[in-house]
Amino acid sequence: MVIFWSIEKMNYLVVTIKQWNLEVYEKYISKLEGNWSLITDKEDLTLKNIRKINPRYIFFPHWSWIVPKEITDNYDCVCVHMTDLPYGRGGSPLQNLIIKGHKVTKLTALKMTQELDTGDVYHKVCLGLSGSAQEIFIDGAYKAYELIKFIIENEPQPHPQEGKVVTFNRRKPSQSEIPKDITIDKFYDYIRMLDANTYPAAYINYGEFRLLCKKAKLEGDKLTMEVEVKKNE
């Protein structure tokens, strides 16, 4: 899907696939000053379509594919990453942060390049990591709006990343199995860090069955959750 306008104002483009970002776009971003367009399908992210929009910035609050070089070379593409870069370059930032015990992070708006998460930084905002992945992603979508608003209002000059580079590995669905012999806090973390729409739920294998764990709550030393039982494939 491609939506664009033809009013003579500064043009901006948002490219995203996640429902939480789409809701924030409709509610807030599209009402910011300027002429806003939206792309939600990777097949529509072409140089031809971008030229029709002619955006000052292209914002990627959540995107899962490599953006063509012809686009990143010719337009100011800004992606949003869920770590305080250069700490946490790479995949599955939320899950890696929670596994490592982080309670807060910084959402980084950076210039998109062909090398993953290495671009210059426009701005950062703090983001708490409590609650389920779904809740954190929704909060992150509103924080991404703050970043976008700051950038279009101030047009900051991006600066090189500073600090020690730490790279995260993208997690695989097979890593969603809850480990044995862990604390109740870690048990809770494994469930909540994967509890979001379209994400593979944390699970426990029990004989021929798989127990999918969601909606966990931790109160003191008591952990409650919803469990869905499926037969192992």
Mean pLDDT across 215-233: 94
pLDDT tens track for 173-189: 889 999 999 999 999 99
From 21, 4, 26, select the one nearest 13 (Cα to Cα): 4
Q: Residue 129: is it exposed, middle or buried by C-beta count within 10 angstroms (0-12/13-18/19+)? A: buried
The pTM assigned to this predicted structure is: 0.91
In a shared domain, residues 162 and 181: no
33 lies in the same domain as 147: yes
Q: What is the CA radius of gyration of the chain?
A: 19
Name the residue among 20, 48, 120 with its Cα closest to residue 77. 120
Same structural domain, 154 and 107: yes
Tell me, yes or no, whether 206 and 122 share the same domain: no
* Interval 20-39 mean pLDDT: 95
Same domain, 45 and 9: yes
Task: Give residue 7's pLDDT.
Answer: 47
* Total count of domains within the chain: 2
Residue 64 pLDDT greater than 90, yes or no: no
- Residue-level pLDDT at 233: 77
Same domain, yes or no: 110 and 22: yes
Mean pLDDT, residues 43-57 taken together? 96
Is the domain of 50 the same as that of 103? yes
Q: Which percentage of the chain shows pLDDT scores above 90?
A: 90
**E-strand spans in the chain?**
2-3, 11-16, 35-39, 57-62, 76-81, 87-90, 104-111, 121-128, 166-168, 202-206, 209-219, 222-231
With a pLDDT cut of 70, the percent of the chain lying above it is 97
| Domain closes at, from 168, 187, 207 | 168
Rounded Cα gap, residues 113 and 69, in angstroms: 8
Residue 198's domain spans which residues? 173-231
If pLDDT is split at 50, 70 and 90, which confidence band does 2 have? low
What pLDDT was estimated at residue 4?
53
- Residue where a domain stops, chosen among 150, 168, 186: 168
Residue 139, pLDDT > 50, answer yes
- Compute CA 96 distance to the chain's CA centroid, rounded to the nearest angstrom: 13
